[in-house]
A and B are shown apart, each in its own frame.
Chain A
Amino acid sequence: MSVDQIPNAGLLEYEAVMVGDKPTVTSRTWYHWLLLTAVILFAAVSVGFVGTIFWSSFPTWAHHGFTLLTGKGWVSPDGPFGGLAMITGTLETSLIALVIAVIIGLGTAISIVFFIPRRFRTVVATLVELLAAIPSVVYGLWGLLVIAPWMEVTVNPWLNSWPFAKGIFGSPGQEFGTSLLLASVVLGIMILPTFVAISREVIAVVPQDLMEASLSLGATRWQMIRQVVLPTAKIGLLGATFLALARATGETVAVALVAGSVANAQFHLLYPGTSIAAWIATEFGESQGKEISALMALGVLLMLVNVCLALISRALVNRQRRILAKV
């Protein structure tokens, strides 16, 4: 349940109302001041959070301008610093991961809500949420030590036998176990529990009346799902998708482990690559001065993308809630 659904009690305003229309000094006890101190502390932290990262990235924007967005090469320690490889890497990995997670996740969520016997439903839901709690570094470890060797020996040769393989995946023999494709698959598996957990909740709150009305008109189960449940839950599911996308773009260590950490702007999926967040994690330890500022600038980019996605997702989920309130 979200905060916005519960009316505000306004306890700390009662006294002000009782004393007079405007809060008076006498109504402020030590408790109010304690709360205000914590609030100011949090506000300062959040302002500092955005402010310091922007401030530290300033030299890069000032000296190199927007070559960070368009430049191809990343030469440490003095630049030029081009972020195109990280930006394309982030886009490729998170979009492929999103496609994987949404297709599988939607089916899984529907199965959990409608087809699994009631007894097992809570068990499965708990399992999904536990899986969402597994640290991302563990997914990265599994991808690197288990999936990467398997990809290299079994999957890559098979993919290379496809038509147009050279255009999509790159020349055979030049690819590694760690690649953008592996990073996308691991990311997809990682964001799957998050997506399933949210979309399960969205689907589960579709009013029972609507579904029963559909069934009573003779619809089959799938017709009910496709014509009633999915349209009703559409906007909330879109919100879940954006949330999963936000998580995929921000994921750091798993991608740093399995993508191969090579800053090379290209679209061949079996070549190694990197993403914005992963590049920050892999480069930060050995960088100084100008390069740190350039990495901070990448961080600013990541923050802007993430805030946009989070706000869109929030707006969508709120809209879904208003729609359901009307039904």
Chain B
Amino acid sequence: MSDLIELEELPVEAEHSMREEIRRVSERMRGRRVATSRVMVALCGVALVVAAVPLVALLYQLFDKGLSQIDWSFFTHLPETPTIIAPNATGGVSNAIVGTIALTIYASIVAIPVGVLVGVYLAETESKLATSLRVVSQTMAGAPSILMGLFAFSFLVHDLNIGFSSIAGSFALAVLMLPVIIISTEIAVRNVPNSLREAGLALGAKSHKVSLKVVLPSSITGIVTGCILAISRAVGETAPVLLVIGGGFTNSWQPFDPVSAMPLAIFENAKSEYPSQRAQVWGIALVLVIFVFLLSLTARIWASRKQQVRN
């Protein structure tokens, strides 16, 4: 209190110089704060650039080295093994493309219906089973994909003795896809407003009719988005199929034949001693990445369509 009074009683010149002093100090502090802020903002920008450089370099090299490898025979011919006499004879990769498509289709046929049904169950009931399955599916969604391969190997190839085959590979991929589909279906179904359900029930419809004719149609975009994302993840996975599909050299759609797959062909040929084979790997990688990007973009467009319908 006494300080305040003293301050009031200060001579005009002293008060003036004091204000000047305060202004100078605060100006200096402010200058320091602004400078720190600028430096840190610049550092964040640097982090953005540092993050972008390797990723851009990866994409650039993928297109640069991959495009020249792709021609018509790349898609239609079977692979050849280069020899010392013909070191450039690599052939095409049709077996890997056929294998990837077959594996993905078989896996989707099982995983999509089961995943969607489980997702609907988790969204529409409240029980201990549902709660624990939710935790299980969220944990499985992050599990290392090689474990799916170990599971498919010990269950199908070893215990049931069906051999290295595309059915074993698609089983592993289906286990990989299930949790992704379940989680996205559950979110999509829960996002359907309750008033729609109540309207259906009030009209006298049975709960399964409401679920099939009201809830599922209004959540279909979310479900389809989730399924496409699951497929795009399955297409690119190497580890689960590496252990169980056997790496066949023919174009086989048969479920019990050994097949190849694009990620597997990349993994095996990347360490090849022939430069021609190492170069061809970039072509396979480019096709694979374009395929995955197209799937992800389709999923995003579906998702944004959903938002537009909402609005």
Contacts and interface: CB of A to CB of B under 8 A. Distances in A.
| A and B found bound together | yes
Interface of A: 1-3, 6-15, 29-32, 34-39, 41-43, 45-46, 48-49, 52-53, 55-56, 103-108, 110-112, 114-115, 126, 129-131, 133-142, 144-146, 189, 192-193, 196, 220-223, 225-226, 243, 246-247, 249-253, 256-257, 277, 280-281, 284-285, 292, 295-296, 299, 302-303, 306-307, 310-311, 314
Secondary structure at the B interface, as helix, strand, loop or mixed, is: helix
A38 B147 CA distance: 22
B197 interface: yes
A12 B144 contact: no
Contact of B266 (A49, A137, A222): A137
A11 B147 contact: no
Nearest to B285: A138
A39 B133 contact: yes
Contact of A189 (B46, B55, B62): B55
Contacts of A1: 187
A246 B262 CA distance: 26
Given A42-B115, A131-B55, 14 more contacts: A42-B137, A52-B154, A53-B151, A107-B44, A107-B47, A138-B236, A141-B282, A221-B41, A249-B144, A251-B144, A257-B270, A277-B144, A302-B144, A306-B143
A270 to B, nearest CB: 19
Contact of B126 (A8, A130, A139): A8
B88 interface: no
A13 B142 contact: no
Given A10-B126, A134-B292, A280-B150, A43 B133 contact: yes
A35 B236 contact: no
Contacts of B57: 146
Contact of B146 (A49, A141, A299): A299
Give the 10 A-B CB pairs with smallest separation, nearest first: A107-B47, A250-B144, A135-B236, A31-B208, A38-B117, A220-B37, A222-B37, A252-B239, A6-B190, A222-B40
Interface of B: 33-34, 36-37, 40-41, 43-48, 50-51, 54-55, 57-58, 61-62, 113-115, 117-118, 120-126, 129, 133-140, 142-151, 153-155, 158-159, 175, 178, 182-183, 186-187, 190-192, 194, 197, 201, 206-208, 210-212, 215, 232-233, 235-239, 242-243, 263, 266-267, 270-271, 278, 281-282, 285, 288-289, 292-293, 296-297, 300
A37 B282 CA distance: 44
Contacts of A41: 114
A49 B140 contact: yes
Contact of A110 (B33, B44, B271): B44
B208 A29 contact: yes
Most buried by A among B41, B61, B192: B41
B183 A48 contact: no
Interface residue SS majority, chain A: helix
A46 B48 CA distance: 40
Among A35, A37, A56, max chain B CB count under 10 A is at A35
B175 A45 contact: yes
A106 B51 CA distance: 10
A284 B155 CA distance: 15
Contacts of B135: 314
Given A49-B151, A281-B146, A42 B118 contact: yes
A115 B45 contact: yes
Given A12-B211, A115-B41, A39 B129 contact: yes
Given A49-B175, A138-B266, A36 B121 contact: yes
Given A107-B46, A136-B238, A303-B147, A220 B117 contact: no
21 contacts: A2-B187, A7-B190, A35-B121, A39-B133, A46-B136, A46-B140, A48-B151, A49-B151, A52-B151, A107-B48, A144-B270, A192-B55, A222-B40, A222-B41, A249-B144, A250-B146, A299-B150, A303-B147, A306-B143, A310-B139, A314-B138
B203 to A, nearest CB: 13
Nearest to A133: B296
A56 B139 contact: no
A15 B151 contact: no
Nearest to A280: B146
A130 B133 contact: no
B200 to A, nearest CB: 9
B144 A252 contact: yes
Nearest to B39: A222
B259 to A, nearest CB: 16
Contacts of A285: 243
Contacts of B233: 133
Contacts of A223: 33, 37
Contact of B215 (A11, A106, A133): A11
B282 to A, nearest CB: 8
A22 B72 CA distance: 65
B123 A135 contact: no
